[in-house]
Amino acid sequence: MISLKDKLQSLQATPISESTTELPTQAQSIIQRTFLWMGIITFIVFAVGYYVVSLIKTGTISPSQYTVLFWVSALGGLGLVFAISFFWEKMNYITLAVLAILFSVLEWIGLAGVLAVYNAASVINAFAGAGILFLLMALYGYFTKSDLTKLGTILLIGLIAIIILTLLNVFLIKSGTFSLVLSIIGLLIFLWLTAWNIQTLKLAATNWDKRLEIVFGVSLYLDFINIFLYLLELYWKSQE
């Protein structure tokens, strides 16, 4: 079977306007189910996350207990993302589905700590804004005839740089202004990653491999949740 990497390399040699004008029915189904997977993961994360927030605020979960849970979820979630992203071709559909659900369960533990800091109005406004921005960039990525695949390397470098700079700011620089700038840049990176992922999905879906819907479902969830978190931080800072 042709690998996703080989498929994308061959498609990149074809103009976007020619290779993605008419998608086969199977490819359209994969794209639709990808968004279904993204929705399932997002629902689990936020629904259970709010339950954990209530446990934190009522003191049912102590700060020390949550710290342990946070690191377990953070490291476990990171490991699952790497496993899904780099080893998906060696897994069957059921295995990938189980890993995606497990990833969403681990994610709500980490997100709960973030949601507990902000008030409900801030969370709702950021969520609504993230949904609108995500939808706009997803539509752009799906319908544009521009070749966005060349942005992949640039966006990856930008993402790594943002992570490093954020850690430096948290532990060394500790600048509110620098944090604001990083939030704006991070938001822009994940907006373009959304468009890039959608166009890449559109190309890859013609491979007719159902496992892609889970792989890209997780990727698009990560795009959405980071857009939400950066918007939440920007909204909060604007209220200070």
pLDDT tens figures, 133-160: 999 999 999 999 999 988 989 999 999 9
Q: Which long-range contacts (CB under 8 A, 24 or more apart) does 181-187 make?
A: 183/230, 183/233, 183/234, 183/237, 184/230, 184/234, 185/158, 186/162, 186/226, 186/230, 187/227, 187/230, 187/231, 187/234
C-alpha span between 41 and 111 (Å, rounded): 13
In the predicted model, what is the mean pLDDT of residues 58-65? 81
pLDDT tens figures, 192-211: 999 999 999 998 888 878 89
And the tokens for 34?
Answer: 């990808």
- Is residue 20 very low, low, confident or very high in pLDDT (cuts 50, 70, 90)? very low
Q: Could you tell me which residue, 236 or 84, shows the higher pLDDT? A: 84
CB 225 within 8 A of CB 124: no
Give the pLDDT of residue 238: 74
- Is residue 22 very low, low, confident or very high in pLDDT (cuts 50, 70, 90)? low
DSSP designation for 146: S
In the predicted model, what is the mean pLDDT of residues 13-40? 74
Percent residues over pLDDT 90 in the chain: 45
CB 229 within 8 A of CB 118: no
Q: Could you tell me which residue, 4 or 127, shows the higher pLDDT? A: 127
H/E element, 92: none
Spell out the domain ranges in the chain: 25-239
Give the pLDDT of residue 2: 38
Mean pLDDT, all residues of the chain: 85
- Is residue 107 very low, low, confident or very high in pLDDT (cuts 50, 70, 90)? confident
